[in-house]
Amino acid sequence: MPKTFSAHEALIHLMVTVSMADRTMSESEIGEIGLLVETLPAFEGFDRARLGDIAAETAKILESSEGLVHIIERAKAALPDKLLETAYALAVEVAAVDLVAGQEELRFLEMVRDAFDLDPLVTAAIERSARVRFRRM
């Protein structure tokens, strides 16, 4: 039986997974994950030095045919209800940083929305907010 994620690990696994959904992690996605982990209150008390190990663990989980499902299920089990919207928002942030989300990223976000049973109006607001923040002149 796989080990249980902590809430911090769950958030990071989701961010890394959306970044890897198109089979590549861009420098901007890596930087955004680091920035979010470093600055957001949700990561208070998290040892940032563990970030690389968690990303490697994510890659290993994703090697299995049911990797996406396992990450989403384990993340949902690890997160308190009050952080489900936060988890989705963080995944959207990472997907938005490259200014264009591919079909793989969009499908993963859809899977998270469905698994977390998030309100469609809330998810639309989160997505709109990310588009506005990353808009160029």
pLDDT of the residue at 60: 93
Q: Please give the Cα distance from 14 to 18 (Å, whole number).
A: 6
Cβ distance 11 to 86 under 8 Å?
A: yes
Tens of pLDDT, residue by residue over 19-61, are: 988 777 778 889 899 999 999 999 999 999 999 999 999 999 9
Alpha carbons within 13 angstroms on the beta-carbon side of residue 23 total: 1
| For residue 7, pLDDT beyond 70 | yes
Mean pLDDT of 102-127: 92
45 φψ region: left (φ > 0), alpha (ψ -120 to 50), beta (else): left
Tens of pLDDT, residue by residue over 57-96, are: 999 999 988 989 999 999 999 999 999 999 999 999 999 8
pLDDT of the residue at 93: 93
pLDDT of the residue at 74: 95
pLDDT of the residue at 22: 76
Cβ distance 64 to 70 under 8 Å?
A: yes
Q: How many residues does the chain have?
A: 137
What six digits make up the tokens of 100?
């264009």
Type of residue at 26: S
Which of the four pLDDT bands, split at 50, 70 and 90, describes residue 2?
low
| For residue 101, pLDDT beyond 80 | no
pLDDT of the residue at 1: 46
Residues 6+ apart with CB under 8 A from 51: 12, 33, 34, 37
pLDDT of the residue at 134: 79
Alpha carbons within 13 angstroms on the beta-carbon side of residue 15 total: 29
